[in-house]
Structure formats: C-alpha cells, structure tokens
C-alpha cells in the first residue's frame, strides 16, 4: 500500500514540474499547454482522490484490526475466567471426593476389627505303617472350654490304646486309655537298660524297648531315679525319700500307703517308681492334690477298677500353647475318666508322651529332656 502511494506522488511531482506544466512562463503553444494542464490537473485530482480513499481504507483496516484484537482479548479474558471457575469447582469436587475416600477406609477397618482371626489348627499326623488303625476324629458335641482336636488309636496283639488330645482351659491335654489282654505289656525301663546310666530322651528309651506308648516316670537326681527303686523284683535302692508307687506282675498299680519297700514286694510289687503324690484314692481326690495350686507341665498314671490304665500328659510353660495344670485339676480329670486310683509322676521339662514312633506333646524345654527311666506299653 505505501509503495503505491509513493509512486503516485512521484508521478504528480513529475507532471507538475514538466515543461508543459510551466508553458505560461515559457510562452509556448498556449492551447496545447492548456490541454496538457487539464490532463495533468485531472490526473492530480484522481491521484489525490485515490490517496484519500487509500488513507480511509488504512484507517478502516486499523480500526478493524483494533476491534478484532479487542474482541480477541475479551474472548481470552472470558475463557480465563471460565477456566478459573471450572478449576475452582473441580478442586472443590476433588476435595469432597477425597474427604469421602478418607471416610470409607475407616468404616472398613472398623468392620474388620470386629472379626476374630481364624483359629490355626495343626494338621493331624499321618498314620505310620505300624499303626494300621490310627485315625483322626472330631466329635460333634463338645463344650466351648473342651475341644477334642485329635484322636489316635492302636489295636494290635492284645493291646488297645485310645488317645484323645484335648484343649481345655488354655491347656493341651493328652488322655490315653489302655486295655491290655496281656498285663505284662505294662513295663518299666532304665536308660541304657542300666540303673544309674546316663539319661536318655523318652523316645530313645522307647524305641530301644519296642514300645508303642511311653511316658517319663521317676523323679531323679543326676542319673539316678528317686529312691526307692525296684525293677523286675530286684531292689536297687531301699531308702524312702518320696511316696513310691508299685506295679504288680499282673499290671495293677499299687498304693504304697505306709508300707516299706519290703512289704510292697511281699504284697506283689514287681516294679517301684518314685515321685509324689497320690492324686486319687478309692475314686476320691486326695487332700494333697486338692490343696495344690501350683501350675506345671504334668505326667501322671491311673487305673480303673476293671484294670484299664489311664495315662495323662499336660503341656505347660508355653503361654501360646499350654500353661500347665495344678494337681487338683489333674486329679479331677482322672476322676472324670473313671479312675479309682491315680499317681503323679515327674513333670516340668521331663513331661513327654511318646506314641507309635513320635512324641505327641511339646516338652516345655523345647526338646525332650533326658530321663533315667520310662513307663511303657510294649507292642
């Protein structure tokens, strides 16, 4: 646009300064000059009109551009305001959603906290080839404080054993009932088959004597069982420092009472095991047991009127497994099982129940404690 304006102005200036335009001064051919002047004047007028029209157009375009820019600025401002409004609404919406999400987990946690954790139950041990009748049973009718979690059984060669593993009052209790066709299957053995020999775990002594069921027996000092000690009718120690228990050749348990060792032997004692005290006598709890409130792992043996034997082992000193039991509660279990007589054997870390090749309970020492002797049922 500016280039055209300059070109037109240059043409006008040339025409104005042309010699013909100055004809009146030079006095040359007036008529011709007049005609030329008119033409030039028309051209000038046309050029001027053109310039003014272009200037108007320039002004119009400038105004139009300013209007467009102003309109665009207004649109931009409106867009920014709309975006700010939308952003604010979105932020408020997200804040509300975040608040809602924070409320939901709390509700879930509250619901979960009311649920009791699942109870862990140990899998039942698989029967070994030697135990063809081993089985697991879960009775339907059980009290909330007494749950039979596992049963074991053995019935071969005139030996019938039924073992119930019971959970009662935060304790793990094993109750074995033994019926013997041949009462001589009830036996006692020293570690290494020798009096005063180094002690051995119950399981090792049991394996050495072909036992199907075994428990720890006498209390001991060093490697020597508490006195008196009699094995197969042979006297190893006569001193009575504790309350002894006798076992006859016919498999009957004998209360020593006030008898000495010699009298016990005369009355039929073939074996003498020593610890203390008597728990049940004539089907009644003894005062010694009734007055005892000391909690420990326990091993004990009893007998019914018909001669059936009862072995009881209670784990203890393990808070998450079994706490232990006092003598009164132990005696009551024997009474509930129908025992006419029962006797407490060595307990604590010595408490061990062996059955058919394995230890069923969890000794409080974390492993089997070596002992000087065991009571067992031979296969």
Domain boundaries, the chain: 2-112, 146-378
| pTM (predicted TM-score) | 0.63
151 and 162 in contact (C-beta within 8 Å)? yes
Identify the DSSP state of 352: -
- Which candidate, 379, 302, 366, 361, places its Cα nearest to that of 150? 361
Alpha helices, DSSP H only, in the chain? 2-16, 23-26, 30-113, 202-208, 261-266, 287-290, 327-336
For the residues 208-230, what does the mean pLDDT come to?
A: 97
- Which candidate, 121, 126, 161, places its Cα nearest to that of 138? 121
**Spatial distance between the Cα atoms of 310 and 332, rounded to a whole number of angstroms:** 13
Residues 94-134: tens digit of each pLDDT: 333 333 333 333 222 222 233 333 333 343 343 343 444 44
What local confidence, expressed as pLDDT, does residue 352 receive?
98
Does residue 150 or residue 261 have the better pLDDT? 261
Which of the residue ranges 33-42, 59-68, 187-196, 218-227 would you say has the lowest mean pLDDT?
59-68
251 and 307 in contact (C-beta within 8 Å)? yes
What local confidence, expressed as pLDDT, does residue 75 receive?
56
**Spatial distance between the Cα atoms of 183 and 176, rounded to a whole number of angstroms:** 16
244 pLDDT more than 50: yes
**For the packed helices 30-113 and 2-16, what is the interaxial angle rounded to 10 degrees?**
170
For the residues 172-186, what does the mean pLDDT come to?
A: 97
Q: What percent of the chain has pLDDT over 90?
A: 57
237 and 244 in contact (C-beta within 8 Å)? no
What local confidence, expressed as pLDDT, does residue 293 receive?
94
**Spatial distance between the Cα atoms of 130 and 156, rounded to a whole number of angstroms:** 10
């Amino acid at each position: 646009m500016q280039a055209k304006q300059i070109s037109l102005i240059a043409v006008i200036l040339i025409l104005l300064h042309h010699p013909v335009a100055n004809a009146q001064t030079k006095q040359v051919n007036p008529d011709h000059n007049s005609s030329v002047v008119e033409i030039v004047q028309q051209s000038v007028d046309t050029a001027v009109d053109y310039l003014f029209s272009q200037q108007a157009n320039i002004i119009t375009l400038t105004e139009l551009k300013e209007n467009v820019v102003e309109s665009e600025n207004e649109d931009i401002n409106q867009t920014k305001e709309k975006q700010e409004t939308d952003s604010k609404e979105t932020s408020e919406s997200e804040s509300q959603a975040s608040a809602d999400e924070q409320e939901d987990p709390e509700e879930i946690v509250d619901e979960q906290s009311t649920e009791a954790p699942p109870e862990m139950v140990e899998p039942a041990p698989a029967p070994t080839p030697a135990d063809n009748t081993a089985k697991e049973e879960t009775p339907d009718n059980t009290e909330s404080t007494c749950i039979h979690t596992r049963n074991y059984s053995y019935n071969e060669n005139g030996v019938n054993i039924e073992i119930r593993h019971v959970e009662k009052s935060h304790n793990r209790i094993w109750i074995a009932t033994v019926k013997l066709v041949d009462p001589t299957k009830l036996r006692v053995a020293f570690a290494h088959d020798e009096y005063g020999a180094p002690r051995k775990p119950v399981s090792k002594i049991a394996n050495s004597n072909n036992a199907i069921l075994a428990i720890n027996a006498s209390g001991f000092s060093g490697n020597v069982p508490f006195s008196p000690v009699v094995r197969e009718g042979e006297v190893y120690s006569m001193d009575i420092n504790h309350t002894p228990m006798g076992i006859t050749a016919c498999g009957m348990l004998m209360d020593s009472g006030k008898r000495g060792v010699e009298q016990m032997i005369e009355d039929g004692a073939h074996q003498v095991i020593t610890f203390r005290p008597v728990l049940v006598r004539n089907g009644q709890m003894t005062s010694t047991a009734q007055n005892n409130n000391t909690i420990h792992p326990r091993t004990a043996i009893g007998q019914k009127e018909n001669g059936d034997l009862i072995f009881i082992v209670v784990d203890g000193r393990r808070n998450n497994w079994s706490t232990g039991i006092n003598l009164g509660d132990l005696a009551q279990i024997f009474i509930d099982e129908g025992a006419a007589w029962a006797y407490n054997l060595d307990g604590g870390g010595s408490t061990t129940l062996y059955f058919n090749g394995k230890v069923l309970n969890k000794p409080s020492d974390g492993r089997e404690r070596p002992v000087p002797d065991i009571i067992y049922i031979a296969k």
